[in-house]
Every structure is written in C-alpha cells, then in structure tokens.
Structure 1
Amino acid sequence: MTEFVDGWIFGHTLGEGAYGEVKLLLNKSTGEAVAMKMIDLEKHPDARQTVRKETAIHRMLSNPNIVQYFGKRSEPNMEYIFLEYASGGELFDRIEPDVGMSAWEAQKYFRQLISAVEYLHSKGVAHRDLKPENLLLDENDNLKISDFGLATIYRMQGKERCLERRCGTLPYVAPEVLLRPYHAEPADIWSCGIILVALLAGELPWDQSLAECPEYMTWRNGKYMSFTPWRKLDNSSLSLIRNILTHSPSSRCTIQDIKRHRWFVKKFQKAGSIEGYIRPDETDSRQVLEDENLTRFCLSQPELPGIETNTVQINLEERAGFSFSQPAHIEDLLLCTQVQNKFTQPSQQNTFQRLVRRMTRFFVKTELEETVKRLINSLNNESYTCRINDCGTITISSMDRRKMPLVFKANIVEMDGKILVDFRLSKGCGLEFKRRFVKIKSLLEDIILKGPVTWPIAVATECMP
C-alpha cells in the first residue's frame, strides 16, 4: 500500500470529481479514516481559485448533515482537501430507478436535507448544486451534503446580493437561474423539491425548467396529473411539491413553510408498506439527463491505459490481496479497505475496516475469466464502449438520450474462489447509472449468485495508478 505522509496510507478510490479523485486515507496507528479530494493543478490550472473558494466556504460550516472539512494541503501541482468520510455511500444509490423509496425513508432524508440547507442559508451560503449525487450517508444512515465547488456566499453582514452565475445540474436547476439574476434561497429550495420527486418516484420530472420543455410546461399549466411521475404520488406529497416547484421564486414556499407542511410533519410507518406511490410502467421510464454547460462532470482526468476488450486475461499478481471478517448478505456486501499486515498487528485490523455500502454489485458463480467474458459480451451487445486494465477494472462508456456522456466502472474482484462484480459511477447521472446497472444485471441473471448467504466482507485495496 502507498504511504501518503508519515502514518497515513491510501485506501481505495471513493469517487472521481471534476478535477481528480477522492480517495480513502487511513491512519496506520489509530485507524482514523478521512476522504481526501485530490486536485491535479497541472491538468487543471484553473482549479486553484476554485479550491481556495471551496475550502474557505467549507471552513465556515459545522453541521451534522454537512460533510465536515478537516483541512487542506497544497503542493506545486496538487491540492489535497481532507473531508469527513461518509461510509454509507451516496443517496442516489438508495433510490430504485422509476420506483423511488418508501415514504418514511424519503421523509427522513428530506428532513435532514432541509435542516442542512436551512443551516447553510443561516450562514449566507448557497450550495447551487444540490442533487442526490452530492448527498452522502454516514455509517448511521444520516444524510450529509457534500461538494461545495459551486457554492457561494450571497449574504454578508445582513446584506444580500443577487446571483448571476448560471450553474448547477440542469434537471435540478430553478427556472430563474437559467434567466438570471436570481435570489439564492429560492433556487436551492427548488433543487430540494426536485430531489424529493426523485426520492418518491425514482425519476426526474423534466430535463429543464424552461418553456422549451413540454414536460415542464405541462406541470406549469396544471395538466400533469395523468403523467408520470405525478401519478405515483399521494395528495399530501404532491401538495408539498406543488408549493416548492412554483415557477415564480417570490411565490415559492420557504423552508419554514416546508417544515410546517402536513407531509413533512406526518409520522410514516417504517415497516412493511410503501406509501405514496405505485410501481410505474416499465415502458415509461425517463432518462435522467445532465447538461454539459451547466454541470461539472464526475470524471475529467484521463482513464488508466486499457487493453482491447476482446482480451480478458488479468494479471492476478498485480491485484490486491484480501482478508475476511464478518458476514453480509450478497446484495448488501460492504467493500472496505484494510491495512496490510506489514503496517499493523492482527489484533488491530478491525480498527482499519472502513465500510462502504453500495447496491450496485453482485456475486457470480463463474470464474474470473469467464465472468469478464460474459460481462464484456453483454456490454458489447448493448453497444457500450469498454476498456479493461490489468487490475480487472472495466471502464464502460455510453451516451444518454441527449448525447451526454455516461461513464461507469466495473471492478472484477476475486475473493477466496468467488467473484464479486462491483460497479461505480464515474461521470454522468446517478439515476441513469442505476438504470443501466439494473439492465446489465438482468443480462447476467443466470450467473449471479442469489439469496442471503453468509459471506465475508471483502477487505481490499485497489490497484494504484
């Protein structure tokens, strides 16, 4: 394993940002884990000012529903930002495409989101890119707002300014942001309303909130009830969403209005039923789209050198080693990183386990090479572009319906004679990635290991570039 500084070592990659990667960093002695955002200034010289602004804002914030900022380290060609490690993964991973989640779960996350946004606004900070991909979950399943790269201060010493920058992720952006200038608070509240639709319905209502978008005009003209996602929602949640997704920012409800709404204060039943929506027609799924001009992509750095997709031999000697601990269900397998024995005593190893919950993975019955062949054949049949490196990572590229890039990766992991296929989004929309994963998984149904069985948690490190 690679040592970053004295006493701290790299773990696996947690994600990929506009200017570089986010990696897990582990303290060899204490087991403390932090997320380290790496910004390559040689590739992105314009990022230095962005980092300075992002860290200055993040340093102001301290809230249980906002990822904590620990500090940064500057080098001539690299900036490192150290953040709280949210081991529960990303909120979008909990959303079932075209279905959503149960009402009690959606309400829990939405309440925490509103609490965090209320705190941000009390500090005069606007996030400006609220979406499920920027909402993380900690080990106790509590929501944490992350990624303050587009955040700004709109109020200082009681004086508020209007904002001019046209930024965000297009389906989540309020209509006034596209016209400019705009007030910060109603724009963030609008994004929260779109997130609530995604939580309850598993889809987004429109591509953009402009007159050119027929789905948006149907909503604005009040002729939406026979269409999805609205027909999935009950009257109470729909009432709240109508108050939030009001075209005029001056008529839009405030955070205080949201907190008083009957859906927000209602106590939903946790066990058993899913309230507030029905399963949609599978033929009526919408594409969740992002605008290249409005959002920073999740991947900007070059991919690792690949080999031809018809070559499936993987250098196992270069792959990371594994050890095992507690049991888990297949669907909820927790992939984590552990310090190798040369860095720690066996009695200390459990301290170093840092778990990441993700649903976009499965075990298979087939051997390593057969698994790679089956996966690549399935991807080729679906017209994906694939590249595989000698660490067993397959990079999968496609375009959505608006010809915007969607890139995700599949890691083929061998563990004690069993194979795990683990998918991670690199670039594009989280819900669209989940839709693609579900389709790919269905194509491999005959080789997927099913049912709750006792399985050790994989303790692994990835190949380092």
Structure 2
Amino acid sequence: MQATTFVEDWLCYNTTLGEGAYGEVKLLIHRRTEEKIACKIINHQRYKDAATNINREVTIHRMLDHENIIKYFGRRQEPLKEYIFLEYASGGELFQLIEPDIGMASHAAQTYMKQLMHGVNYLHNKGITHRDIKPENLLIGEGGVLKISDFGMATLFRYKGKERLLDKKCGTKPYLAPEVLQKPYRAQPSDLWSCGIVFVAMLTGELPWADATDRNVEFAKWRKDVYISETPWSKLGNTALSLARQILNLDPNKRLTLEQIEKHPWMKFNFDCGSSKDNVDGSVERPTKRWNSMVEAETKHNRDTPQVTLSQPIITYRPSSIDQLINDLKTTRREQVCFSQPTQYEDLMIQFTQSPITKDNFHNLSKRMTRFYVTVSYEKTLEALCSVLDTLHYSWTTDASGAVTISTVDFMKNQLIFKANLFEMDGRILLDFRLSKGCGLEFKKKFLKLKSCLCDIIDK
C-alpha cells in the first residue's frame, strides 16, 4: 500500500475504501497525528450528471450531527474534480460482519439494529429519508458503532411540519418496500421496510427475495403467507420472526413504527443473560430471564462468531486539524493536490513520496474479512487467481497497477463487480478483495468460493 502527499501534512493512501455512483473513496491520514478521514473523489468530467446530485447530497449531509451518522467535514471543488471529506469508519461495511447463509450472533444483530433505529429516528425527526438503507451503506466505526452513510438518494419528506408523499423509485431492489415500485409512498414506512430486510440479513446471512414484486416467487410466498418452511424464515426463532413479520407488513399503514420496533420483545431481550453467578452466601443466582421457546437459540444454526466490541465510544469533538485540512484545501493552489498532474519535476519530487505497507501502518487498511496472506510470490498469486477466475467463468481485467476487476452475476442475476489487490507487507503478500458494485452478501459468497479454490497458496 502506497501513500502520496495530498496537501501539506496529509497523506492519501492508494487503497480504496469504497466506490459510489460518482467516484471512489480514499483514506487520508495526518502525517504527525495519524488522524484519519475519508475522502470521496468525484470526477465531473467522467460523470456529467454528478454536480446536481452531489450538491443535494452535501446539502442534506451537512445538516446532520449524530453518533450513528457518518460525519460530514467539508468539501473542496475544482473545475473537473470535487473532494468531499467524511468521517473514517475503520470497521468497514456491516456486510463484512455477516456470514453468508449463517448471519451473526443475535446479541450483535440486536446492538446494530438498536443503533440503526437510533440513526433512522434522528433522520426522520429532521424530516429526512435515506431511501437506500442496506448493509453496504452501514459502516462500523471505532468501538463497533454503526454509522449510516451515503446520502446520495436522501431527500426531505417533511418541511415546516408538512409531510409530502414521494414518487421517485430509487434504492436497491432487494431492500425496496413494495409500495415504492407501485405508487406515491410515505417515506418513514419505506425506510423501516429496508431496515427489516437488513434485520433478516443479519440473522440469517441471506436476503429473502430479489425484489418485492409479484413476479418474484419468494415474495409471492410471503404475500400468500406460505413461507414458514422456507429460508430465511425457517432460520429465525419465534420472536425474531415476529419482529420481521411486523416490520415487513405489506400495508405501510400497519407496519411497525420505529417506536414499536424499539419496544418489541426481541429488541428488549437480554442475550447476555445465559450464565449464572454465585452470591456472597454461596447460593447460585439464576438468570431472571431464560432461553425459552419464544427466543429459542434464535436460529437452527450455530451463530458463534468472533467477538465484536460493541460498546459506545466516548463522544468527541471534531478534531481541529481536520478543520485545518478543510481550510488548507480551500486556499491551496490546485496544482498542489496530488490528483492533479504536476507541471514541474520539483513538484513531482515533493508530492509523490511513497511508502510501502508495513506492520507499522497495516492498521491503516480498513477492516475486512475478505483478505488473506499467501505463501507464493506476487506473480504466482496473480497467475493462480486469474486461473481460478477463468475456471469459474468470471470475467476479469487488470490495470497497470496489477489490480484485478472481476465481473459476474449473483443468484438474482444482478451484476456483481469486485476487485482484488495485492499488497506487499514485510516480505509477505496480502490478497485483498473489496466490493465495487452489487450485493455485499453475494460478494462474500463469491469470496469464500475463491478462497476455497486458492487454499493451496493461502498462508494458514
């Protein structure tokens, strides 16, 4: 992993944190303090319709200040490019914590669901609807705190106390409420439907349907109430299924409200109450709540997963040096930014100072479960990877840096694009995969398949 000087004391790492409709997100790190922020880079020359949409996104995002919302720090505009500066979420996307076809531990899902509700409640109270809630847009910050991101499809649905119906059909198909595709719809129930799909995905590791239309067999079974023996529903305990059914009520007027979701028994159950403890007098105190037929073991699968720290972090103020960065960028000459072509050799020497990834800066990579070390050389790894991609009939291309872009379709026949990058760290090769476009759960399934095919070269 290499870094280039972005502006003054800020380094830009060439690892990509994510991609959106109008560009990609890079990591900026302060050379001395090691403060980190995310930088969304929009190329207006490449995306002609970006300006209007980006302005709307920024207008909404700059209004927000909540612990479960990614913070907006500022922007820098140039004739051909634009830079938007956001809070860096070191834990990556929520889908990275969801095991395909299994899900995650109930206590973790409950914590994330509560945090998601807090963030959505804040948005709705300000009259804002997100309209694209999905695991790919839910990031994990320090201390395991969930943060809602990407406000490219967000809009105001209430102004000065007056609510309006929405008619734009936007979002991601598997997470869209059925009414969004049919008629003018209310903002709040449609956002909560998306949260319900996220809830099912967290507990089961799969999505219930490709889209909520009568053409879809799985959704038709849900509508006709003949789904109980089908997955993902058969994986849910009674209480979790009760919550899912009420959030995913086909009638938006009968769907659970946010307040009702927070009061549901599944949301209030103590998943950490399964152990007994000894009292001072030697007697054993039994848990006040026990696992029972209503909660069961929550699924028929063993959901033991690596522990994730879920405690809330101490609330901090915006770092002054980040504000200084924004100020510097507003006043810095355009040719000083590393993404512009330098005009003089001296500029090249100053700006493009590169540093390889080492054990000391490895923590600067965002956390992903879709990477592993290999035992062979860079060239042999690339050769093995591309050979497997050919065997699986995945389309792929490479660029000058050696990054491999892989294109295929998921089981819902939707396009799925992800990228593989090779990093050298202290003499070892790290093969890193990240989602570029499509469903995060389907991406993880493809990753596990590739990992299985490459097991002979994986450093165990």
Is 1:216 the counterpart of 2:211? The answer is no
Q: Is the 8 A contact 1:361 1:420 kept in 2?
A: yes
For 1:38 and 1:18, the matched residues in 2 are separated by 11
| Alignment partners' CA distance in 2, 1:320 and 1:389 | 21
**Alpha-carbon distance between aligned partners in 1 of 2:456 and 2:42, rounded to the nearest angstrom:** 42
Taking the aligned partners of 2:273 and 2:367, their CA distance within structure 1 comes to 20
Task: Report the Cα distance in structure 2 between the residues aligned to 1:319 and 1:34, rounded to whole angstroms.
Answer: 19
Paired position in structure 2 for 1:357: 367
SS in 2 for 1:256: helix
Which residue does the alignment assign to 1:57? 60
Q: Distance in 2 between matches of 1:442 and 1:41?
A: 40
Query: Is the contact made by 1:99 and 1:278 (CA closer than 8 Å) also made in structure 2?
Result: no
Distance in 2 separating the partners of 1:117 and 1:244: 14
Alignment of 1:65-464 (within 5 A): 65-269=68-272, 275-279=297-301, 321-325=356-360, 336=362, 354-450=364-460
Three-state SS of the structure 2 residue aligned to 1:267 is coil
- Which sections of structure 1, spanning at least 5 residues, go unmatched? 281-317, 326-334, 337-352, 451-465
The question of whether the paired residues in 1 share the 8 Å contact of 2:356 and 2:424 is answered with no
* Cα displacement (A) at 1:405: 2.0
Check whether the contact 2:18–2:26 (CA below 8 A) recurs between aligned residues. yes
State the AA in 1 paired with 2:109: A
In 2, the alpha carbon distance for the partners of 1:271 and 1:22 equals 42
Give me the whole-angstrom Cα distance separating, in 2, the residues matched to 1:319 and 1:395. 24
In the TM superposition, residue 319 of structure 1 has moved relative to its aligned partner by: 9.1
**Secondary structure of residue in 2 paired with 1:51:** helix
Tell me how far 1:278 sits from its aligned partner.
2.4
Q: Which residue of 1 aligns with 2:9?
A: 7
CA distance in structure 1 between the aligned counterparts of 2:376 and 2:8, rounded to whole angstroms: 41
Aligned alpha-carbon RMSD (Å): 2.0
Separation in 2, partners of 1:369, 1:446? 15
- Asked whether the equivalents of residues 98 and 279 of structure 1 are also in contact (C-alpha less than 8 Å), the reply is no
> How far did residue 70 of structure 1 move?
0.5
Could you list the per-position Cα deviations for residues 120-175 of structure 1 after superposition, in whole angstroms to 9, with x for gaps in the alignment? Answer: 00000000000000000012111000000000010011110000100000010001
Structure 2 counterpart SS, 1:356: coil
8 A Cα contact 2:359 2:426, kept in partner: no
> What is the match of residue 305 of structure 2?
none
| Contact map agreement 2:406 2:419 (CA 8 A) in 1 | yes
2:339 is matched with which residue? none
Partners of 2:45 and 2:274 lie apart in 1 by 52
Q: Secondary structure in 1 aligned to 2:38?
A: strand
Name the aligned partner's letter for residue 142 of structure 1: V
Structure 2 residue matching 1:36: 3-state secondary structure = strand
* C-alpha separation in 2, matches of 1:187 and 1:404: 22
Q: Which residue of 2 aligns with 1:297?
A: none
**Residues 319/420 of structure 1: CA separation in 2 closer, same or farther (3 Å cut):** farther
Distance (whole Å) between structure 1 residues aligned to residue 427 and residue 51 of structure 2: 46
User: 2:407·2:418 contact (CA, 8 Å) conserved in 1?
Assistant: yes
CA contact (8 A) 1:69 1:82 kept: yes
Q: Aligned partners of 1:187 and 1:377: how far apart in 2?
A: 44
Secondary structure in 1 matching 2:131? coil
Alpha-carbon distance in 1 for matches of 2:381, 2:46: 35
For the Cα contact (< 8 Å) 2:130–2:191, is it kept in 1? yes
Higher CA-based Rg: 2
Give 1:390 deviation, angstroms: 4.0
Deviation string 1:269-314 (CA, Å, 9 cap, x unpaired) is: 389999311249xxxxxxxxxxxxxxxxxxxxxxxxxxxxxxxxxx
Structure 2-normalised TM-score? 0.81
Identity fraction in percent:
51
| Whole-Å separation in 2 of the counterparts to 1:8 and 1:439 | 38
- Matching residue of 1:312: none
* Secondary structure class of the residue paired with 2:406: strand
Cα distance 1:448–1:115, how it changes in 2: closer, same or farther (>3 A)? same
Deviations 1:375-412 (A, max 9, x none): 11111100012222343311111123454321111112
Please give the alpha-carbon distance, in whole angstroms, between the structure 1 residues aligned to 2:273 and 2:375.
Answer: 35
Deviates more, 1:46-55 or 1:392-401: 392-401
CA pair 415-271 structure 1, distance change in 2 beyond 3 A: farther
d(CA) in 2 for partners of 1:232, 1:94: 18
Counterpart contact for 1:102–1:275, Cα < 8 Å: no
- Residue 355 of structure 1 and its aligned partner are, at CA, apart by 4.6
* Aligned partner letter, 1:5: V
Q: Using the alignment, how far apart are the partners of 1:416 and 1:36 within structure 2?
A: 27
| Amino acid of the structure 2 residue aligned with 1:388 | T
- 8 Å CA contact 2:357, 2:423 repeated in 1: no
Contact kept? 1:91, 1:136, Cα under 8 Å: yes
User: Whole-Å Cα distance in 2 between the matches of residues 145 and 98 of structure 1?
Assistant: 24
In 1, Cα distance between the equivalents of 2:219 and 2:105? 25
Secondary structure of the residue aligned to 1:321 is coil
- C-alpha distance 119-90 of structure 1, shift in aligned 2 (>3 A): same
Report if the CA contact (8 A) 1:106-1:199 is conserved: yes
Amino acid corresponding to residue 40 of structure 2 in structure 1:
K
Q: Aligned residue for 1:315?
A: none
Give 3-state SS (helix, strand or coil) of 1:376's partner. helix
Match of 2:46, SS state, is coil
